[in-house]
Structure 1
Amino acid sequence: MKGQGNGYGRIAPRAVALAIDLVLIGFVTTMISSVLGTDSHGVVASVISWLYFAVQESSGWMATLGKRAMGLAVQGVDGRQLSFSRASIRWVGRWASGLVLGLGYLLALFTDKNQTLHDLIAGTVVVQR
């Protein structure tokens, strides 16, 4: 396997970070949907998920709450902080990573920088802090 022990975010911590993020997004989505009286698995969930990832990954923290808990950060392959638009492209790319049994996530096992499909699409890397 490529990319192990190179300062890039390993798969296990990234998976735990994603699980933390999905639990938080689910909680917020449920709360907002109940207030609005809408189904939590539609537009509301998509908007909350997009804003959750794009705002935090383009912030000075360069990481979601889950990534921060796991000591990870997202940056451009050039080492720079992401813009909101680049973080949004990364979020859209997650859909592609999830297609076909999540094989886009497994690309991280075979790339030098542990990049998933959505990292490659957006020109980003996840790094260990």
Structure 2
Amino acid sequence: MMGENVYTAATEEVLPPTTVTNRYAGFWMRFWAYLFDLLVVGSINRLIVYPLFRFFDLSVDQTSMFAPITITTTVVFYAYFVLMTKYFQQTLGKMVFGLKVIDINHQSLTWSTVLFREVVGKFISKTILFIGFLFVAFSEKKKGLHDQIADTIVVHE
């Protein structure tokens, strides 16, 4: 209905086209939401993953990046962000701070969009010394590198 004239039967008048304006979420709001999410993921790992490893008598030593505990906690990390973003368009951290991930065309987020944003995009942003996250502070629409890769933006609800 964006950009279309709206007809109202009650008054029989044509209203002017509507526009959707978004207030983009800046660096600090997204930073605090991300820290909150790290607390959530860390809590999940400490309350569920580590006890399960101990229950099954598996090593919890992170001696290498291919240690079972390292792989499991990494899967939990990415699964949290992917599943929360796909099903709710926001993680718990974004919910607390009133933020939401949307497609730049205002369509529902597809699995490929979410996977590119949360896995591929964030992996790239992290491997280049977090510079990809600094894009949020300096880009016009507050888009991080992972947002640019996936054609998403984070807005205030």
TM-score by length of 1: 0.86
Cα distance, 1:53 vs structure 2: 0.8
Structure 2, unpaired ranges of 5+: 1-21, 63-68
Kindly indicate which of the two structures has a greater share of residues assigned to helix. 1
Count, aligned residues: 123
Alpha-carbon RMSD: 1.6
Structure 1, unpaired ranges of 5+: 1-5
Q: RCO higher in 1 or 2 (8 Å CA, sep ≥ 6)?
A: 1
- Structure 1 stretches of 4+ moved >4 Å: none
Question: Which residue in 2 is equivalent to 1:34?
Answer: 51
Give identity over the alignment, percent. 29
| 3-state DSSP of counterpart to 2:101 | strand
Question: Which residue in 1 is equivalent to 2:117?
Answer: 90
Q: Is the 8 A contact 1:75 1:125 kept in 2?
A: yes
TM-score by length of 2: 0.72
Answer with 1 or 2: which has the greater Rg.
2
Q: Is the 8 A contact 1:63 1:72 kept in 2?
A: yes
Question: Which residue in 1 is equivalent to 2:18?
Answer: none
The answer to whether residue 26 in structure 2 is matched with residue 10 in structure 1 is yes
Question: Which residue in 1 is equivalent to 2:152?
Answer: 124
